[in-house]
Structure formats: structure tokens, C-alpha cells
Structure 1
Amino acid sequence: MAEESEFRVLHTMIRVFDLDRSLDFYTRILGMKLLRKKDYPGGEFTLAFVGYGDEASQSVIELTHNWGRKEPYVLGDAFGHIAIGARDIYVLCDKLKEAGGKVVREPGPMKHGTTHIAFVEDPDGYKIELIQMEGE
């Protein structure tokens, strides 16, 4: 078995239908930074990496946009959600709604526990769990 320090989660990739709309959601609404973006004309796709910190030390999200796609992606039922810790999910959800974000589970204690959570959806319908960070 490998040592823990030999591995690190680098990124999670999700396919997005409208890259500009997704970038707006992840940067303006969720406060991430666009870390890098590159077009691949030969493959007819664009990759955009967003996150809260440098890829050298933080896990990020890769938004993959395939050019010429006519219909939104079908998400299926195997993928669960992306989780993001926040200082005050109650204030954040209010800000998200004011900015046009979709809150699909209002903030409150999780079932069978005491941790406070909320869920929002990105423009493609991916669920994002907001978790109240301990001690915040």
C-alpha cells in the first residue's frame, strides 16, 4: 500500500454545455478563480480549470466544453455532488439566490446529524453541497 503523501487529488472533471455560463457560476457566484483555460481546436474542445487556490497545492474543477454540442448533458444517477466548505452557508445561500444561483436545499442541519449543509446547482444541474465549516 502506498504512503498517503504519494497521492493527491488533482481535479474533478465535469462536462459543461455553456462554458461562459459555467465560468460565471463558478467564479462570480461561488467565488472561485479561473486558473487556466485552453482551446484545443484539433479536438474541438476547451478546458477551463477553476478553484480557490493554486493547482500545485489545491484540488480544482476542470470544466470541459465540447464544441458544437447541441443538447445539454444527461447527468445520470451515479454522480453525487461536489462539496465546498464555507464560513457561513446561510449568508452564502442568500447571496447565491440574489446573484441568480439555484438553491435546491436550504441551509440547515443534515438529517441524522448536526453538521449544517445546503445544496445548490450549477447551470448544468450538477449538485454542489455547501458545508458549514467547523468553528466558523
Structure 2
Amino acid sequence: MEFRFVHNNINVFDLKKSLEFYEKALNLKEVRRYEPEDKSFILSYLGDGESRHQLELTWLRDWDRPYNLGDNEFHIAFSVDDFEAAYNHHKEMGCIVFENKKMGIYFIADPDNYWIEILPKK
């Protein structure tokens, strides 16, 4: 048996705002979308143009409040070829929420406060 990662899912409150953030912060673009006839939800799949792994954003029409992420330390991680440029870009965006200089990593937060780890490509 062979298992392969396909996607990770997160629920988002404002799909347009999230799509804009992920494109600006991480250059992720929507590669496909699913929307049922009743328009009760939208699944937007984001890709980086290289990996087969995707990030699925789920938007629920009737959800009326920001998501409570609780105490879970869930995060998504990305490596980047130019760590310093990425750091400066995210600093300019104002989305850096935690830095661990000793480990050489930092975290950014998306509009729903999901944390994304940025680490240098090794």
C-alpha cells in the first residue's frame, strides 16, 4: 500500500480575504473549486504550482462568526528558497506572529489566525 498526501483542509470565514492573503503571502493560487448547486459551501483548492499537495479552504455560507481555533497548536509549514526576502515581505504585510531566531524559523497568521511556519529551504 502506498499513501500520498493530497490536501489539508481549513475552514475560513471570508473566502475572498483568505484567497488574497494566500496568494500575496505564499504565492498559492486557486487550482480548482467545488460549489454545490445550493451554494451552501465552497471548496477552494490552492496549489503552489510545483507540489501535488494542496490546501483546501472551506467556506460555509451559513457560518456567521470567526472560527474558534482553541488551544490547538496546529500549523502548516512552508520552506522558502530566499528566507530573508520572505521574512521582509511578511514583515511588510504585518502578518508575522512569532519568531524563533534560535531555530531560524518564524510564523505568520492568515486572516482566520491559522499559523503558517516559514523555514529556510535546506
Is this a same-fold pair by TM over 0.5?
yes
Give the corresponding residue for 2:78: 84
Alignment RMSD, CA only?
A: 1.8
Residues 27-106 of structure 1 correspond to what in structure 2 (within 5 A)?
A: 27-42=23-38, 44-53=40-49, 58-98=52-92, 100-106=93-99
Query: Could you tell me which amino acid in structure 2 is paired with residue 91 of structure 1?
Result: A
Question: 1:96-128 CA distances to partner (integer Å, 9 max, x unpaired)?
Answer: 232x34101236231xxxxx2110001000000
Mapped to 1, the partners of 2:58 and 2:73 lie a distance apart of 16
Aligned partner of residue 13 in structure 1, secondary structure: strand
Is 2:115 the partner of 1:119? Answer: no
Q: TM-score of the superposition, structure 1-length normalised?
A: 0.80
Range 14-23 or range 82-91, more displaced:
82-91
Query: Could you tell me which amino acid in structure 2 is paired with residue 27 of structure 1?
Result: E
Give the corresponding residue for 2:101: 108
Question: Which consecutive residues of structure 1, in runs of 5 or more, have no partner in the other structure?
Answer: 111-115
Question: Which consecutive residues of structure 2, in runs of 5 or more, have no partner in the other structure?
Answer: none
Mapped to 1, the partners of 2:21 and 2:105 lie a distance apart of 19
Is the Cα contact below 8 Å between 1:89 and 1:118 reproduced in 2? no
Number of residues of Structure 1 aligned to a counterpart in Structure 2: 122
Aligned partner of residue 120 in structure 1, secondary structure: strand
Question: 1:77-113 CA distances to partner (integer Å, 9 max, x unpaired)?
Answer: 2352100001122221211232x34101236231xxx
Q: TM-score of the superposition, structure 2-length normalised?
A: 0.89
Computing the radius of gyration over CA atoms, which structure comes out larger, 1 or 2? Answer: 1
1:43 is displaced (CA, Å) by 6.1
Give the corresponding residue for 1:132: 120
1:61 is displaced (CA, Å) by 0.4
Question: 1:10-35 CA distances to partner (integer Å, 9 max, x unpaired)?
Answer: 00000000000100011122111211
**2:21 paired residue among 25, 30, 34:** 25
Runs of 4+ in 1 over 3 A off after TM superposition: none
